[in-house]
Amino acid sequence: MRKKIVAGNWKMNKTFQEGVDLAIELNKVVVEKGAKDVTVVVSPPFTHIAEVNKVVDNDRISVAGQNCATETSGAYTGEISAEMLWSSGANYVILGHSERRTYYGETNELLNTKVKKALEFNLIPIYCVGEVLEEREAGKHFDVIKEQIETVLFDLEIADFEKVVVAYEPVWAIGTGKTASSDQAQEVHKFIRTLLADKFGAAADNTSILYGGSCNPKNANELFSNADVDGGLIGGASLKAEDFIQIINAY
């Protein structure tokens, strides 16, 4: 059985105290009214992770980093290692978000290294893929996603692959208020699952594939009702506890 996951990506938002307050508020609503069969993940900025982890009920909310280093440790000023995240209480790490690819030049080859490093230190990668608008308009989105999946995941050992969560985030839908239609989301999610099944066999049935990109309380139910959509990676709407809980309960 694959897991239903709703993960909030806070991006570079919230001061330390604001983040801790949001985590306390989220924890309250998730514990009081959150669907128990949904795995809830929050991804605060690095500086907030340890404290957020302390204020949430770890049986109900897991914590993720938004990135990690390619290296294990050493003279890499400004970098945060997978082991540091894990030792601060994170169980997940978002990798390959389109903002990392676009603004920080992260390539599929680099992300392959990061995914392996995360797995080495017991973090579950939430690996993001997705096409930009020009690629979709040119009908190239399947090729782009295939490359993002093959280059980054196909050389994993099966036992490692089984831990990975994939997020499909069409870049044109992130933070724009435009959402992929339910059919567009299902079409790509099915494509991703088929690619994974061709390589990893039945294990792909258990891979959670999340949708991200302007997912909100109004459209979550329709998106999540698709056979191959196993939850969401939520940006803007994860910053408001009332919106986030409605998405968690949208199944």
Pick 83 or 131: Cβ nearer ligand PGA: 131
- Which residues 5-34 are close enough to bind ligand PGA by CB under 6 A? 9
- Which residues 135-194 are close enough to bind ligand PGA by CB under 6 A? 169, 174-175
Is the separation of the CB atoms in 251 and 224 below 8 Å?
yes
For residue 97, indicate whether it is catalytic: yes
For residue 134, indicate whether it is catalytic: no
* Residue of 69, 212, 224, 250 interacting with ligand PGA (CB under 6 A): 212
Residues facing 92 on adjacent strands: 64, 124
Burial class (CB in 10 A: 0-12, 13-18, 19+), 46: middle
Encode 80-94: b = buried (16+ Cβ within 10 Å), e = exposed.
bbbbbbbebbbbbbb
Interface size with ligand PGA, residues (CB under 6 A): 13
Query: Which residue's CB comes closest to ligand PGA?
Result: 235
Using CB under 6 A as the binding rule, whether residue 233 contacts ligand PGA is answered as: yes
* DSSP structure string for 27-59: HHHHHHH--TTEEEEEE--GGGHHHHHHHS-TT
* Residue of 44, 96, 231, 235 interacting with ligand PGA (CB under 6 A): 235
CB of 177 to ligand PGA, least distance (A): 8
- Residue in 48, 97, 141, 189 annotated catalytic: 97
18 in the Ramachandran plot: left (φ > 0), alpha (ψ -120 to 50) or beta? alpha
Using CB under 6 A as the binding rule, whether residue 215 contacts ligand PGA is answered as: yes
Is the separation of the CB atoms in 112 and 95 below 8 Å?
no
Residues serving a catalytic function are 97, 169
Interacting residues with ligand PGA (CB under 6 A) = 9, 169, 174-175, 212-215, 233-237
